Structure 1
């Protein structure tokens, strides 16, 4: 156990340092990188690469040079006595092999589930047949027109009834706004309503602390902590009820208590309407209701009468719906503040294709009308994709092979070893994206005919790839476009002078200092 813990600490440190490099460095220093890299040993006797990684805490430039020098794939070798190593790759051919063509051999694995144990047996943690059952059931629910209509209805209602009035008051007062906090609250409220039917109303002028939301934050901090320190340390904290593990235990208790309340209320609601045939077609049903009504003959490993199954489902979808979408929106508006020419193009596209908010013309939002209006916003779509290429909400992917394998790059992988795909690094690789890989260029997503350019998911990994491709991709993109349109049609956003924008290494890529802006209401045309 101790040797495995040391390896995990080593590999986590390496991944963390790769990530940190991209946060702080530019890409015009290869000669200095090479000199620094050669100035002291990289692979040490007995201790392997761990000492070199620790020494390079302040010289992270070496890491990117290693990835480039090794053709996008690098083997991290821990101390010899561990007999363990890991592989870090941003090679699209390897990524396709791992996530698609050899999908059945690369699983999340029991170690992953241990790290994320507070989320139970949801689709996020699951493998094998349980994952297949969860995948099929979730796909049925998310693809249902009624659920998509509900998602659009809740999103637009929250924007017009809560967000825009809030912005109006804040702009009148000249109040500085943290858009990151706003978007996290907005997406938390939208997620809770579409998942459970209950509105926590965390987005308001008071910006109240919501116990359920705080539990997600505390859980995320503790899980990250588990990735960084040796296993025996966090296991000791867990046994003794100390530090981050204490907060994780408390978060788990909060999850149990609040989800139990939601599930009980939903079962009572179902009983009161079970004879009402108007509710039998699943039209506009929230996700929890749909899962309670699951046909068990189709999903034999799922038990909708089991409250734990429903609890794990609620947590999984809140985690996915709240954090990833709010992260992408935050970085999008952060990048707009630095690229006014992109903002101007997006505004022009919106004004050309969608009636201006505040006019007498009613805009008929729905999942169907989305195809008419939002799908015309190709440049906006490209700008959102470009944002997530540079700042992916989930910055790295982790897999473990069941059996030993050989990657297309020729690297051999041992069974039960660790494979890390640093998605953040992938988006900045010149050999993958071209010499302008570090630049924010929505145009790279626009084809010669003016349509959206397709890139393989093994290259653009934001929505995962292969059988685990994100089921909520369309819903997430629709929600983000809707939020952007409403805000840009109604407000000018200006970054607070001197505010520093930089990422905060976490399981979800947030901004370290938030996104502090001022708002100015736009006049209707």
Structure 2
């Protein structure tokens, strides 16, 4: 009986493998019995991004990943720009987000990040009209400049005077979180302050991102069961979800009460934020209820906080490793705005770390010190073409291992724009990010303000590695010492 059972098991396994390998025409990895391609992936988890890049390169940019048997975790993986163009541009209507996507990205609700069909078209048209408003650009310009002068630079100055190692990524995440919160709902969580407080809403966002990534890594039946039983990561998701909803619905109620007491003229003259716009937008299409406002706010906050912080973190790390690029950025700033910085700036020769330390300085003192300073505005940073190119340098082209901002600059000194389906940092096709240009100018404002005043020395032995998340942050942050740039 044991022999017969072994023969039957062997026969069934052979049938299973035959079926799997016939259905998987372009396998990325070796397909193990029962476990599929998971063992090889887990073995290389510590270098996942590099590993996937190597595998896709060997397979012409596209291949299939087959997960463990019965898990339904089978994927088509591609980095081929023609495939991207097909899905995001030419055959956009064939590739909807769908029910499974909305299930995983549950906290996004019916916002623009997860919506399909007529709901998506309505939101898209509404956002397009809002993003064109001069009031929005003026408000963002003012908000970013104020936040740079009253929070970002004072915090960096404080850390520099103390001589302490700072997680630059944490600083930038806090800055962008406060900034996008002000722009979206008119509220400043003040997570970027001298004592680096743990802000409930910010912690809720981080936990939500972890949970969404977790849902991508385990079979649907597992996380669905955890959700039903309210255990594990799903319990944390629910708590984070609740924290955000309490926060946003309280702001919505307060804003509705405030607006009910205002005339149209008073509303039009009030400080601008998207929460107010969503409640007062008169497009003659439909009334925006609290759920619509909540979903819109969540999608905007997620889109605006992590992505810019991630880009700026990797950018500053790369600049710290490439002094020639740093010198060119500083030269461009100096040539356009006649700063007093000396030429041939180099972090080794032209930066210093003050040797006096004062642990009793409070943020209020720094706010007063920074009040007389200036930060470049949106119109001004449009002149910084080389800085724009440096921010674009991601993994790109045949010489992608070189940090080469020049590839983004034409012979006439203008910015070179690559097709969105080849450079998909801001998506492509009908879903391309409407806030792309606004994001770039904000990042240029922050980068110019920081690099004009400071340079960084990454602590010895600190190796930045990408985190496993829906946002490509650094796993252990960016630990560095801050030094004032000599002028």
TM-score (norm. length: structure 1): 0.77
**CA deviation map 1:455-482 (0-9, x unaligned):** 1111111011001111111111111000
Q: What is the distance in 1 between the residues matched to 2:73 and 2:220?
A: 15
Tell me the distance in 1 between the aligned counterparts of 2:47 and 2:292: 46
CA displacement at 1:193 relative to structure 2: 0.8
- State yes or no: 1:167 paired with 2:156: yes
Aligned match of 1:437:
400
Residues 112 and 375 of structure 1: CA distance in aligned 2, closer, same or farther (over 3 Å): same
Residue 323 of structure 1 is aligned with which of 299, 303, 306? 306
Counterpart-to-counterpart distance in 2, 1:100 and 1:484: 32
- Deviation by residue 1:333-365 (Cα, 9 ceiling, x = unmatched): 111111111111111111111243899998685
Change (3 A) 1:230 1:344: same
2:193 aligned with 1:204, yes or no?
yes
- Separation (CA, whole Å) in 1 of partners of 2:381 and 2:403: 22
How far does residue 518 in structure 1 lie from its aligned partner after superposition?
A: 1.4
Question: What are the ranges of 5 or more consecutive residues in structure 2 without an aligned counterpart?
Answer: 1-19, 21-26, 341-368
8 Å CA contact retained: 2:112, 2:123: yes
Cα separation, 2, equivalents of 1:450 and 1:55: 46
Check the 8 A contact 1:194/1:287 in 2, yes or no. Answer: yes
Q: State yes or no: 1:509 paired with 2:472.
A: yes
Taking a change above 3 Å as real, the CA distance of residues 159 and 116 of structure 1, as seen in their structure-2 partners, is same
Computing the radius of gyration from Cα coordinates, the structure with the larger value is: 2
Pick aligned residue for 1:481 from 411, 424, 444: 444
Give the distance between the partners of 1:122 and 1:512, measured in 2 at CA.
28
Q: Kindly indicate whether the alpha-carbon contact (under 8 Å) linking 1:215 and 1:255 is maintained by their aligned counterparts in 2.
A: yes
Match of 2:268 in 1: 280
Name the SS for the 1:379 alignment partner: helix
For residues 327 and 481 of structure 1, what CA distance do their matches in structure 2 show?
Answer: 14
Alignment of 1:215-364 (within 5 A): 215-274=204-263, 277-280=265-268, 285-298=272-285, 300=286, 303-304=287-288, 306-356=289-339
Shift of 1:71: 2.1
CA drift of 1:445 comes to 1.0
CA gap of 1:231–1:488, structure 2 versus 1, over 3 A, is same
1:498, CA displacement in angstroms?
A: 2.1
- SS of 2:237's equivalent in the other structure is helix
Instruction: Please give the alpha-carbon distance, in whole angstroms, between the structure 2 residues aligned to 1:295 and 1:173.
Output: 52
SS at match of 1:320: helix
1:342-421 equivalences under 5 Å are 342-356=325-339, 366=377, 370-371=378-379, 373-386=380-393, 389-390=394-395
Distance 1:337 1:117, change over 3 A: same
1:63, CA displacement in angstroms? 4.7
* Distance in 1 (alpha carbons) for counterparts of 2:95 and 2:147: 40
* In structure 2, distance between residues paired with 1:171 and 1:81: 55
Q: Are 1:108 and 2:97 matched, yes or no?
A: yes
Match for residue 5 of structure 1? none
Following the alignment from structure 1 to structure 2, what is the Cα–Cα distance between the partners of residues 246 and 230? 17
Counterparts in 2 of 1:58 and 1:250: CA distance versus 1, 3 Å: closer
Quote how far apart the aligned CAs of 1:297 are: 2.2
Q: Secondary structure at the match of 2:382?
A: helix
Q: Does the alignment pair 1:466 with 2:429?
A: yes
Q: 1:499 to 1:231 in 2, by over 3 A?
A: same
The superposition leaves residues 57-89 of structure 1 with CA deviations (integer Å, 9 ceiling, x where unpaired) of: 589777545422332121334568788853211
How big is the alpha-carbon RMSD for the aligned residues of Structure 1 and Structure 2?
2.8
Looking at structure 2, the residues matched to 81 and 222 of structure 1 have their Cα atoms a distance apart, in angstroms, of: 23
Alpha-carbon offset, residue 492 of structure 1:
2.2
Shift of 1:46: 7.3
Q: CA deviation at 1:47?
A: 6.4
Indicate if the aligned counterparts of 2:319 and 2:326 stay in contact, CA closer than 8 A: yes
| CA drift at 1:167 | 1.8
Q: Partners in 2 of 1:132 and 1:485 — Cα distance?
A: 36
> Secondary structure in 1 aligned to 2:426?
coil
CA contact (8 A) 2:454 2:485 kept: yes
Measured after TM superposition, the shift of residue 130 of structure 1 is 0.5
- 2:154–2:370 Cα contact (<8 Å) kept: no
Residue equivalent to 1:406: none
Cα distance 1:260–1:46, how it changes in 2: closer, same or farther (>3 A)? closer
- Bigger Cα displacement from structure 2, 283-292 vs 357-366: 357-366
**Number of residue-to-residue matches in the alignment:** 433
Tell me if structure 2 keeps the 8 A contact 1:43–1:52: no
Q: Deviations over 1:400-451 (max 9, x none)?
A: xxxxxxxxxxxxxxxxxxxxxxxxxxx4xxxxx11x1222211111112221
Q: How many angstroms apart in 2 are the aligned matches of 1:480 and 1:59?
A: 28
Paired residue secondary structure (1:444): helix
Shift of 1:497: 2.1
Return the match for 1:185 from 169, 174, 182: 174
Where 2:77 maps in the other structure, the secondary structure is strand
